[in-house]
Chains A and B, each alone.
Chain A
Amino acid sequence: MRFLARRYLLISLFCLIFSCVYESFSHGVRSGFMIFLFLFPLLLGAVPAFVMSIAFVPVPSAAARCFWHAGVAALSVGSCLSGILEIYGTTSPYVWVYWVVGSLLLLAGALRYFLARGSRRSGG
């Protein structure tokens, strides 16, 4: 999990640099979606992975991790896209898809993890 935490940390750093560069060319137009883009991989990826690595809790299954990663990716891309559109001064009727799909994937990953933990406890 520490490896995963480091990987998410690198992605967060990339997002931070990307948003800084993008904002520097936006002529003062600010977007919270762009400024706080790095928080998605940081808070939903690096922090949980690091906590799991030191808290000695069961490692999520491959399926649970897959759902979770997909959710973080959807939310991060959605935030980046929302920032680009907001800075340009336009909107898209499709942005909600990222938030809904991303949230559902996170929920699926979390459910998969906690249900597996529950069944292991009841089985043990």
Chain B
Amino acid sequence: MYAVALILFTAYVLLDTFVIPRSYAAVQDGTIQAETSGEDEEITVSTSGASRAENSADDPETSDASDTGKSSSAAETVTATDTSYQNSGVSITMTTTRYEDTTVYVADITLSSAEALKTALAKDTYGKNLTEKTSVMAEEHSAVLAVNGDYYGAQNRGYVIRNGTLYRDTAASSDQEDLVIGSDGSFSIIKEGDVTAQELLDEGAWQVFSFGPALVEDGSISVGTDTEVDKAKTSNPRTAIGEIAQLHYVMVVADGRTEESAGLSLYEFAEFLQNLGVSTAYNLDGGGSSTMYFNGQVINNPTSGGDTISERKVSDIVYVGV
């Protein structure tokens, strides 16, 4: 009888952790309504005072564009190749390089408005075990470029703020380093023990990612040679996002776990990002989750299911929309 109870309970824990989908309410209900209405990208978060409309860059045409398909201008010229994308508000240049026996994909992004740097949740719902492939989410949101996010759904704690909505305000730990993207598009690194999620929102945080660690801060590498995510001590596929200057970013994905690409340690990854000239860089979910989507296709080699080349479903993406 006891053995049966132990097995059944364990089965439930596994199902709850990996299978059973659950959707949760955001901490701030008012912002959910604004988020899901889809009527206007210029969402105003009443309690925080943060608004993308206040922080749009000079180009009013570009800042009016949203992922609902509205075009900023009927006569807008879009130039897209396999390695670049350019319109009036977005300029992306893709490069692929080899570093430490690993293929690394770098998207150099220049925006005219912070509005174009966005995030999306799988199935447009905040919850647990709600996942979609990065490429599917990217297509659903008309993204030009996308990478996987922090896979917030795998954790029960850690701040989650997306597009100005506070979804989770429970700290993972006092030392948990988060990436905060302000409504003006600026990057900063905070520790969850130093500030509450509500305070971040009040100060104008537009996106908060709770994975980490921070790879580069103020242009200096902020991880040691033996620093790793959890207990990983080996090379792995990686995803990171970094800020070079105001509205100038990089999204970087490193392959790994294949014969062609060994993968990078966090320190190697931080070194690579530092060489790109970033002032701030942050490690997002890696391993099998690491995926980069550009111009309608996945351009790296995601290794979901061990070392098999296939794309993993994840909780969220960071993307550049038009």
Contact = CB atoms under 8 A, between A and B. Distances in A.
Interface of A: 25, 27-32, 70, 73-74, 77, 81, 85-95, 97
Given A73-B6, A90-B154, A85 B17 contact: yes
A91 to B, nearest CB: 5
A29 B3 CA distance: 30
A27 B230 contact: no
B232 interface: yes
Contact of B13 (A25, A86, A88, A95): A95
Interface residues of B, number: 28
Contact of A77 (B10, B16, B156): B10
B10 A25 contact: no
Contacts of B16: 92, 94
Given A29-B232, A90-B17, A97 B9 contact: yes
Given A25-B306, A92-B16, A74 B231 contact: no
Contacts of B14: 81
Contact of B236 (A27, A32, A70, A97): A27
B13 A81 contact: yes
Contacts of A77: 6, 10
B231 A86 contact: yes
Given A89-B230, A90-B154, A27 B287 contact: yes
Best-buried of A27, A30, A31, A97 by chain B (most CB within 10 Å): A27
B236 A93 contact: no
Contact of B232 (A25, A28, A94): A28
Q: Which 4 A-B pairs have the closest CB atoms?
A: A28-B234, A30-B231, A90-B154, A29-B232
Contacts of B151: 89
A90 B230 CA distance: 10
A97 B6 CA distance: 11
B17 A89 contact: no
Given A25-B306, A91-B156, A30 B233 contact: yes
A81 B233 contact: no
Contacts of A28: 232-236
Contacts of A92: 13, 16-17, 156
Nearest to A25: B306
A86 B257 CA distance: 19
B306 A70 contact: no
B257 to A, nearest CB: 6
B98 interface: no
B139 to A, nearest CB: 26
B154 A88 contact: yes
20 contacts: A27-B232, A27-B234, A27-B306, A28-B232, A29-B232, A30-B231, A30-B233, A70-B2, A73-B6, A86-B231, A87-B230, A88-B154, A89-B154, A89-B287, A91-B155, A92-B16, A92-B17, A93-B156, A94-B12, A94-B16
Contacts of A81: 10, 13-14
B44 to A, nearest CB: 34
Contacts of B306: 25, 27
Nearest to B234: A28
A4 to B, nearest CB: 17
Given A88-B154, A90-B154, A91-B157, A30 B13 contact: no
Given A30-B232, A74-B6, 13 more contacts: A27-B257, A27-B287, A27-B306, A31-B230, A31-B231, A85-B17, A87-B230, A88-B18, A89-B230, A90-B17, A90-B155, A94-B9, A97-B9
